[in-house]
Every structure is written in C-alpha cells, then in structure tokens.
C-alpha cells in the first residue's frame, strides 16, 4: 500500500557511501536528523568497514536501516546504466542485502526496507521485469521497497503483495513526466527551496517540474542525499517542515 499524505512522513538519506579512507557524505551529523538510513552495500560504494560504522551510528541514533543496493560499478558510483537480466538484478540485490543483514544482526536491528541506488533505481522504475527481481528479494525478507509512486516500482510491488513506500526528492529536479533528473555530480541545494518543495508536497500534494508543470505526488518518505555539499542544512530545513 502506498503511503499517502496525512500519514506519518519519514526523512531518509543514503548513507555509508564510503570506500576505505574515502567518504562522500556527512553521516554522523545527518544521523541526528533523519528517521531512516539507506545503507550502501558494497557494489556502488561501501565496504565492510563502512557498513559496520554506519549500522553502528544508526543503532546509536535509533535510526531505522534499509539496504541501498546498487550496480557493480565503484568507478561510476552506480550512476552508469548496465544491461542486466531480471535474474541478474535479483542476484545482485540479494547478495548486497545479505551482506548488510550480517551487520544488522550484530546490532540486533531488523532490515527496514530495500531501496535501489542510482541508475539501478531508474532502470527498475521503467522496467517491470527488472523490478520483479528486486521485489522477490523484498518479499523474501518481508520488507517494503522504496521508490517512485506511479512507476514500475509501485506497480510490481503492489501486484506481488509487497508494501511500497513512495519517495519525494527535494534535492533533485523532476521532468514533466514526473521522472527524476539524476546528475552525475551532486550540486548544492538551497535549503529554503527544499523546505518549500517539501511543504508544497505535504500540504498540496504536488511538485513542480523543471518546465513549470504541477504534478501530483504520493509519498511516505522524503529523501535528502548525503553527498549533497550542504546536505546537513538541507536536511535540517526539511526536518523542520516535517516536524511541524
């Protein structure tokens, strides 16, 4: 079932996007502001040490943890599409979710959800056969999938009896069809504009596309990317809107 406006709305962020000595976010500060962390599982980013650190931080801050599986492309940060079969999608998601649950077990935390990352997220939004691979994993774990309302994310999840949670993105633009415009490099987002986008979506149920089209949106969670240069300020502004 899709979360609707008027229900409790969570704030989520993509976390653990680090590799060795390199990190791309501000996880300790963001953990104090969010409700849900989508933790990288090693393919687009993240390694065992990063997963351990991130799950530990989530445990300390009472933040729910979901898996954020991506394409096997560290160099491209999972933002370059690949040609995959539905079985390959299922296998790579199952592998990554399994890795994360090992760390969740250590801290006695349940898996909260599955949310594909980057180009995999976009591929599954457009292709129901590929999305079925992701939904099979979510069904086996008994968890929801996060995604774009009205896309293959929602259609396949609901058809297969898996809970779906729609997302609102305040630091990405939408095209006139309601699709996300994903950039290879993140850019700073004006916190007040992000807050206004969240307020308008919560109060009026609409977002405005890059060409000025008003689009209806259903969502149960608001995502702020951790690698946005001013992610903490953006998240704090959105948190204030949600908490009001």
pLDDT in tens, 45-77: 889 999 999 999 999 999 999 999 999 998 888
Is residue 224 over pLDDT 80? yes
Average pLDDT, the chain: 91
- % residues pLDDT > 70 (the chain): 95
Reading the block at residue 127, the tokens are 């292709």
What is the arithmetic mean of pLDDT over 208-237?
92
Select from 230, 240, 221, 223 the least CA-distant residue to 172.
223
Buried b / exposed e over 221-237, threshold 16 CB at 10 Å, is bbbbbbbbebbbbbbbb
The string of pLDDT tens digits covering residues 7-42 is 589 999 999 988 776 777 789 999 999 999 999 998
User: What is the CA angle 84-85-88, rounded to 5?
Assistant: 80
Bridging pattern class, strands 164-169 and 145-147: parallel
Reading the block at residue 153, the tokens are 């994310």
Is residue 5 over pLDDT 50? no
pLDDT at 1: 35
pLDDT at 29: 94
User: Is the whole model's pTM more than 0.75, yes or no?
Assistant: yes
Cα separation, 51 vs 7, whole angstroms: 30
pLDDT tier at 237, thresholds 50, 70, 90: very high
Lowest-confidence pick of 74-78, 109-113, 217-221: 74-78
Bridging pattern class, strands 10-15 and 221-223: parallel
CB contact at 8 A, 199 and 237: no
What is the arithmetic mean of pLDDT over 115-132?
96
Residue scoring higher pLDDT (80 or 12): 12
Cα separation, 196 vs 219, whole angstroms: 16
Q: To the nearest 10°, report the CA torsion of 232, 235, 240, 244.
A: -160
Select from 62, 59, 71, 161 the least CA-distant residue to 107.
59
What is the arithmetic mean of pLDDT over 183-194?
82
CB contact at 8 A, 30 and 59: no
Reading the block at residue 117, the tokens are 């990352």
Cα separation, 110 vs 126, whole angstroms: 29
User: What is the CA angle 241-198-148, rounded to 5?
Assistant: 135
Reading the block at residue 210, the tokens are 């890059």
CB contact at 8 A, 159 and 178: no
């Amino acid at each position: 079932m899709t979360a609707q406006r008027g229900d409790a709305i969570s704030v989520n962020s993509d976390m653990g996007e680090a590799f060795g000595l390199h990190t791309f976010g501000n996880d300790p500060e963001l953990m104090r502001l969010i409700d849900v962390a989508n933790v990288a599982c090693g393919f687009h980013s993240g390694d065992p040490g990063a997963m351990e650190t991130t799950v530990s931080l989530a445990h300390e801050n009472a933040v729910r943890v979901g898996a954020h599986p991506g394409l096997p492309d560290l160099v491209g940060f999972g933002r370059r599409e690949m040609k995959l079969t539905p079985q390959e999608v299922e296998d790579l998601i199952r592998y990554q979710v399994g890795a994360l649950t090992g760390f969740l077990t250590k801290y006695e935390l349940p898996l909260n959800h599955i949310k594909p990352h980057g180009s995999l997220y976009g591929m599954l939004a457009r292709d129901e056969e590929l999305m079925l691979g992701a939904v099979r994993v979510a069904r086996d774990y008994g968890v929801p999938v996060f995604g774009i309302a009205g896309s293959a994310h929602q259609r396949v999840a609901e058809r297969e009896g898996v809970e779906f949670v729609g997302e609102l993105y305040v630091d990405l633009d939408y095209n006139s069809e309601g699709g996300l415009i994903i950039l290879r490099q993140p850019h700073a987002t004006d916190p007040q504009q992000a807050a206004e986008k969240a307020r308008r979506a919560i109060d009026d149920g609409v977002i405005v596309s890059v060409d000025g089209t008003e689009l209806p949106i259903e969502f149960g969670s608001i995502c702020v990317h951790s690698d946005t240069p001013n992610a903490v300020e953006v998240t704090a502004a959105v948190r204030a809107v949600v908490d009001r």
